[in-house]
Chain A
């Protein structure tokens, strides 16, 4: 029986709801859930039948979700009070589960205007205004969404979103990343977290949220490649990585600079040859790691540009910057790409006819 998450146009809100529903269905059925992006909606189909009278309250897997680290980050713009918001999410889902699942089995729309406002740690486009009383006159309506959809989105973001703390020029920032599923099997949320969470590389210093998103995309692609190589073909595809930055603005954290990084090129490369793409992904990963060191920022930015655009100009720039790093003695011989590695990169570079 399929379930539909109709898209609203708020990309992070939509993708997070899809992940949230996948978590709920996975907890209820204890089996795989298929997620498919069908342009107008995410369609989710659990492999096993749902119990006739689904109850989630006493489910152990559900209760362990309380301890997810992502919760306070989703509600980071609330300052204090994130734990009560988390409890509310869980109680909304527990109370409204039957109605929610029933409504999502049919084609549905999300009505804006009433319900809960979207937290800034969830969707930058839906975030407005201040979250606590100030003496100044500041009137701007919040974007409110129905309570049940709000709860699903918060759950999805807390379990499948990636938050990375970064301090830039003395300012506290959080980089937020969320993959958008195109065709994926959700087996177990911890397994999905292993796939989505960045390794704890505290020494890596990113130069902006685009740089972090591009490195994240390459790391995600490498993990998917490993699975594809083991399984024989690419099973799970992701269409994009949504990313945005949360920055400390005195009174609270505020979202800024959001966009999405398309993953089609990397997914196509893995689907075509999971083994052949390994050196390419490793070399790109090396460029990001070297680019995180002092004096090699150009390399990180050039690699970011290539992963985002895959065009001749970006490729040309990356090669030139890498040659400069090599000439400066920053790249050792064993870290230089093989001819076949560069040919693999070139095979994905899009050549416009004007060139």
Chain B
């Protein structure tokens, strides 16, 4: 596992940004705090994948209701590759950071 990529670059990675934005929407529009907790407790790649799966399942309902864009398959694959390359903790920190930023006003309930 390498950690030569700075956290900021990982944060700006298109796949992390896409998933992070969806996570933020899910949190603010659907009170999906459970996904944050799932990610928080994911220590291994398998647990992280499982947390992502549960998060996407929860998001699906919101996406249908509000006609929101789902994350693309390419982004999911890229995110998995990033986890393989840099480890769960770094990717998780970058991903969760997107859930904290101000974002767009329509995300507010």
Give me the interface of A with B, judged by CB distance under 8 Å. Answer: 312-313, 315-316, 319-320, 322-324, 326-327, 333, 336-339, 341-343, 346-347, 349, 351-353, 355
Contacts and interface: CB of A to CB of B under 8 A. Distances in A.
Contact of A323 (B99, B103, B105): B99
Contacts of A346: 6-8, 11, 94, 97
Nearest to A352: B3
A342 B93 contact: no
Contacts of B96: 316, 319-320, 323
B84 interface: no
B100 A326 contact: yes
Contact of A342 (B6, B11, B108): B11
Contacts of B103: 336
A163 B102 CA distance: 37
A351 B90 contact: yes
Nearest to B93: A316
**Which interface class (under 10, 10 to 19, 20 to 34, 35 or more) fits B?**
20 to 34
Contacts of A336: 100-103
Contact of B87 (A315, A316, A333, A355): A355
Given A312-B90, A351-B90, A320 B36 contact: yes
Contact of A338 (B89, B99, B101): B101
Nearest to B20: A339
B27 A327 contact: yes
Given A316-B96, A342-B97, A346-B97, A351 B3 contact: yes
B40 interface: yes
Given A315-B93, A316-B96, A355-B87, A339 B101 contact: yes
Chain A contact residues: over half helix, strand or loop, or mixed?
A: helix
Nearest to A350: B7
B55 to A, nearest CB: 14
Interface string B39-50: 010000000000
Interface in B18-67: 27, 31, 33, 36, 40
B100 A342 contact: yes
Nearest to B32: A327
B11 A343 contact: yes
Contacts of A347: 6-8
A342 B89 contact: no
Contact of B89 (A339, A341, A353, A355): A355
A336 B7 CA distance: 20
A287 to B, nearest CB: 11
B90 to A, nearest CB: 6
B12 interface: yes
Given A323-B100, A336-B101, A343-B8, 13 more contacts: A319-B93, A322-B100, A323-B27, A324-B33, A326-B100, A327-B36, A336-B102, A336-B103, A337-B101, A343-B11, A347-B6, A347-B7, A353-B2
